Amino acid sequence: MRERGMVAAEALLAVAVALAVGALFVLLADGSPVDAYRALWNGSVGSVDSLAQSMTTAIPIIVVGLGMGLAFRVGLFNLGGEGQMILGALATAVVGHALAPLPEAITFVLAVLSGCAAGALWAMLPAVWEAFLRVPLVVTTLLLNYVAALLATYLAAYPLRDETGGSTLAQTAEIPTALQLPIVIENTPLHAGVFVALLAPFAVLWLLQRTSLGYAMRMTGLNRDFAEAGGVPMKRTIITTMALSGALCGLAGALLVMGQTYRYLDDSIVSPQTAWSGLAAAMLAAFNPLATAVSGFFLAALTTGGTGLQLATDVPLQLVNVIQAVIIAMVAVRLWIGRRVLRRRAT
């Protein structure tokens, strides 16, 4: 309990420092920090519409953050959440459209499962290389993001391109209306995927704390050599963890397609940097599933409020990027210090 309090205090300190740095930049631009942050608040949570928009933006951020954070918690540096999310979104869009003649419930389930499966399979590829060939996971997952993005661009621009819409964008055909997630609050973009974002952290927490697989994963994250000596099947744990991590990232892509874009749109995941916001949320939460949901919403609110900030004041939208960058830097410093402390205790 004390450790959780320390993590929460460190996260709040990182946010406070980031807001202070942001205020300094506003002063340097001859602006008013009070007016800037008031506009940021109003644009993110100041009304039902802005709150709904922030929650909608947070849905994929939270889910992909849970996926990447799960791997990090086991000591597996999965930087491939973006690629896994891209292929999950593409698979959901393609399967959802192709299987439209089937009963709606079956098509819905298969579309979601295909997104999860695509993310899982893409994550398992570097996991196998790590487990059997000792190829660094941090390198392969990062590089596979580019492969996934370029592959999806080619498929959406040529063989899977929607020729009926007349759009110049590389995009697949729209999924049937029956597969589109219902809107939760009328006249807002908030869809039923919000319930997945709220329940998924509890599911991940249950996996980690109440299952034998979760115990093996936690032991591996604390000390891989000790866990292996204690009988944990290391290769199986690595591959299984990465599959689950990729499945969650693929689910984030599926929710984006079924709740917002209704098709795979090229660059719809890369440009807003959804996966990297998810990783930042997981890091800010010290990879705690429940806290990831909170930090994911906070980062989403910053993104949403940035638009209102720019419209209401002379402060540029980039202030939000400055705040997020400072938060990430503070979290990185915290993790670096934590590792040095652990190494000193081990010696």
CATH number reported for the structural domain that contains residue 271 in this entry = 1.10.3470
Write down the pLDDT at residue 165. 66
Is 0.75 topped by the overall pTM? yes
Residue bearing tokens 């219902």: 182
The whole-angstrom separation of Cα 89 and Cα 254 is: 5
Chain-centroid distance, C-alpha 88: 13
Q: Residue 340 CB: number of other CB atoms within 10 A?
A: 10
Q: How far apart are CA 264 and CA 170, in angstroms?
A: 9
Q: Which domain covers residue 241, as residue numbers? A: 2-346
Which pLDDT belongs to residue 285?
92
pLDDT grade for 343, boundaries at 50, 70 and 90:
low
* pLDDT tens, residue by residue, 161-213: 998 866 778 999 999 999 999 999 999 999 999 999 999 999 999 999 999 99
Q: How far apart are the first and last CA of the chain?
A: 26
C-alpha 5/C-alpha 33 separation (Å) is: 29
Q: What is the pLDDT of residue 320?
A: 87
**pLDDT of 3:** 60
Number of domains within the chain = 1
pLDDT-based confidence at residue 244 (cuts at 50, 70, 90):
very high
Query: Where residue 307 falls among pLDDT bands split at 50, 70, 90?
Result: confident
Among left, alpha and beta (phi > 0; psi -120 to 50; other), residue 134 is left
Mean pLDDT within 35-57: 94
